[in-house]
Structure 1
């Protein structure tokens, strides 16, 4: 991915840091990229509810020729269950459209241990199904002499499961975490994620797991293997997983502000966590990007301009707040020194 610092956007909401290698010039994103690799939690749904516009946009994107793959760090459910949930929400999905960190973790383990080996599972059914696909035997006790430990999120993971994992890891057993997300979005708010549970085993053993999920490369590799994508666009709501993972994989990304990331967090994004495009929601897939341009010492997008003066970011203008955010991000990210962004988000109307 190119590391330019221009910003772009679509009419419904996308912004870029450059880096699309001309793909964005081909029209709307749904035609510029062959497959959208969509995160689920905070992008397509939050718990039992679809994110606004997601159902309609994904259907239309498919009609325009864009492939859709659902790529999730959540390892608790197998692809079949995830696809069924999507269908219940009105999103067309088959099990093969879903790629999970459980599948990536299972491949990592299968490349390390003999076929038929026992693997201690801390997590849900998704991990067990993925391991069996590779000819491995899921177990739940360290007394089963497992060749590896695989840990993923499940709402019912408790002390006993974490203890069994700690016993095995302390003996030097190969340890893989499906992901290291510290939090997950729920209908009631932000809750502890698998990374928090991994921290319990880490505290008990002093060991560090191999992480399969975003932002690490195993899940990216698994997704490309399963989809055959040649011009993928990663779509997510988190800088530290979705967007950093896209940067690590060298592909373009779209950040939507329907989940974890806030405008203030986006302004402060480091070089390895800056999305190619920014949008309020998935409607950006159906629109053409508009590039924020540099005019003198300012960055301009729509009716907004942003500049850094004496280390402080300032914005001027009116109109769509997403355009203001794109201009502000371009100005902040173009600076070689730390930028004071206090008051900017409020000035933009977020």
Structure 2
């Protein structure tokens, strides 16, 4: 397949996934809501992971090489697929918005809310990658992504609730909010590292769900913080943080990177055991989604701290290397027997 055919196929798959999820959400009522809630959260997670993975595939196909965009005829085909996806995905979001009352009654309301936030960040990264491939159809693509963004914002607003439970949040400046955000996601990463470290051949089936869930929470938090940073001024390049504040932010970033790399290294080390449990694939998809989410986060954060861009680039670059190793490690669905037996021996 050429690049155009791959993109069209990707759109077909995520469009089908969106339409299938729409049908499931449509069936929700007061009786079955508790049972359907998990399926909705899981469905959104799969769509987000798929979009993130397709974003990486598009990037590998040439978005980094601006000398090789798709010809206009192919770009028009891509926009047709994009238009269909947007229409179907808006239909899904409108049903989710309409079911808000019922979904607030079930324990999966919060994961659904976080999924919507994560979806926004993932689609932003996807739009950036795709539009670079079809510059001649950029206006048409912008219209479609803009239309989807409006519906997505309505959904997020409908399901919105404070992410930071602090009475003084409104009094915090941008730097304080960013530092607090780093503290929370750093703590979440370290807590997940401790859980992964405890995995052995006996408890792996029980721990698998916790790992997938832990990554989902971290991804959603980073995506939501990206939006918060954007609202704080990243769209206004005339108001970056002063250098003193930028240095404070980089210190928090450095700590986060160190802790998150420690988590990823443990996940890499447990690869053999984790391939034996049914949550191996969700963990792999989480790593792919994490990469796309961190890319969007890096773009937003660096725009706030231009004087410390070199230092921030070093940190994000270092994290990207470890993340790539993790993704590569989990690209193979089968554990090597020797590696697995070695891990079992160590765990024993």
TM-score when normalising by structure 2:
0.27
The structure in which a higher percent of residues are strand is 1
TM-score when normalising by structure 1:
0.27
The structure in which a higher percent of residues are helix is 2
